[in-house]
Amino acid sequence: MKIGIDSISFDVAKIHLPITTLAKARNIEPEKLEKGLGLLKMTLADAHQDTVVFGANALTKLIVENNIDLSKIARIYVGTESSIDSSKPISSFLIALMEQKFGANTLDECDVVDFTFACIGGVDAMQNCIDFIQLNPTKKAIVVTTDLAKYDLNSTGEYTQGAGAVAMLIAANPRIIAFENHWATSTKGVFDFFKPYRTVLKETITGNTENQPWLDNLEAEIEIHKEQPVFDGQYSNQCYMDRTRNAYFSFKKLKASKATVYNSWESIIMHLPYAFQGRRMLSEIYALDAANTIITDDESPQEYQNKLKEISKSEEYKNFINQKLMPAELASSLIGNLYTGSIFMGLLSTLAHFYDTKKEITNSKFGFLAYGSGSKSKVFEGTIQPDWKTAIASVKLFETLENSVEINFDTYEKLHKKEQQASVTKPKNEWVLERIEKEIPNLMGARYYKWVD
């Protein structure tokens, strides 16, 4: 029995800052970001948007465009690292909004939960749903990945920001891609990128040395929620490379393959925190699993790294990237990082590229190299199904991205600092954050959403 993605939809922020605008404001050579990292645009959440809004919009599109019968949906699982609550999952918000739009109690028997493991949480959610469908082939599940990738102003991660969601229907006999039952994992607990609970002494805020109540806080320390992560870019790159390499060769063992595995893949789909990250990380696997091994791991660390650099600059490797990885990079260049949704946007970008260029890929195999900081990688593969073109015909990825609204640098900084309350764009046919409760004690902080026609 085949199980995989039957349909897919997305929602990304409708406003963007050109990378050239950011580069000039930060005194960075634009070419370094455009040609070096593959960045063109950076999408940003408008004042009325958050991760619930993006997830709800993507989910609503999935339901409407594919005429999904909600009574057949047994679970809606969310992958995110941008939760808005430490207890109430985004999935519980989504189910309430879907019932608000499609009818009361239409999903009251649907299981919901969020998966959090940095950027790989969506893959974890999908694998869990695939296992569920394997045991319950007449049922269907939905996976939603929704995130807001936000970094500190003037940080080295600032130019990789992005915001949006991807939603996918997981079912038996899928129209788009069916996944093989081989999932290789490599895990190591590290601090390459994380979002810790942060605290500040109440005294530094109030100037009072006595622990007096402040905004209902009785503790001497005040906890601060910050969307921006603590990270070490170089270290995180090394963790990415180490985990994906180990998972890749574990996958090769699971397949009992003596041949070069990536040669069997028409396309390679990787987590792309920025568009060209994958091509930088893949060179080691490319070299180690070559028919005639290009490098060996018994060389000195410096010799090893020097050879990797040589390989990454070779024409053979560039041709390999253009054939197998480039289609997944196209959307990333125009959107930025989607965290959990990045790898699935890479899949959609590849499918949309082949659809637009009229390339037939039925029965082709795609390889997936997922990564989540903290850290974990999963490697798996799937086969494109005969009805893939019909299933994505209405998605119109690149047409939608062309309609993104450009903003100036001043607006960008005001939105980043949350100094701007008014929306840049006028919401239409989408969910919006209507208000956050600030007065009723037992509902303090509750977030309310509405659909705008």
Residues 146 and 204 in one domain: no
Q: How far apart are CA 174 and CA 392, in angstroms?
A: 12
Residues 205 and 69 in one domain: no
Strand 365-372 to 267-270 pairing:
parallel
Q: Does the pTM of the predicted model rise above 0.75? A: yes
| Average pLDDT, integer, range 235-252 | 96
Q: How far apart are CA 416 and CA 412, in angstroms?
A: 6
Look at residue 292 in the predicted model and tell me its pLDDT: 67
Residue 225 has pLDDT above 70, yes or no: yes
Residue 371, domain CATH: 3.40.47.10
CA 109 to chain centroid, in Å, comes to 28
Of 335, 286, 337, 331, the residue nearest 308 (C-alpha): 286
Mean model confidence pLDDT for the chain: 95
The last residue of one of the domains, among 208, 224, 240, is 224
Residues 188 and 200 in one domain: no
| Average pLDDT, integer, range 9-17 | 98
Of 239, 121, 122, 250, the residue nearest 190 (C-alpha): 239
Residues 199 and 115 in one domain: no
Q: How far apart are CA 209 and CA 258, in angstroms?
A: 68
Residues 314 and 445 in one domain: yes
Number of structural domains, the chain? 2
- The DSSP annotation for 327-352 comes to HHHHHHHHH---GGGHHHHHHHHHHH
Residues 243 and 264 in one domain: yes
Residues 207 and 243 in one domain: no
Residues 205 and 321 in one domain: no
Which CA distances in Å does 448 have to 14, 145, 154, 415, 445?
21, 20, 33, 20, 10
Q: Comparing 152 with 298, which gets the higher pLDDT?
A: 152
- Beta strands per DSSP E along 19-89: 41-44, 73-79
The last residue of one of the domains, among 207, 224, 241, is 224
Range of the domain at 210: 195-224
Q: Name the CA dihedral angle for 11, 271, 93, 133, rounded to a multiple of 10 degrees.
A: 100
pLDDT band at 297 (very low <50, low <70, confident <90, very high): low
Residue 293 has pLDDT above 80, yes or no: no
CB atoms closer than 10 angstroms to residue 440: 8
CA 438 to chain centroid, in Å, comes to 31
The last residue of one of the domains, among 224, 242, 274, is 224
CA 431 to chain centroid, in Å, comes to 20
Give rounded-to-5 percent helix, strand, coil for the chain: 40, 25, 35
Question: Longest Cα pair distance anywhere in the chain, in angstroms?
Answer: 71
Residues 238 and 275 in one domain: yes
| Average pLDDT, integer, range 400-418 | 97
Residues 79 and 219 in one domain: no
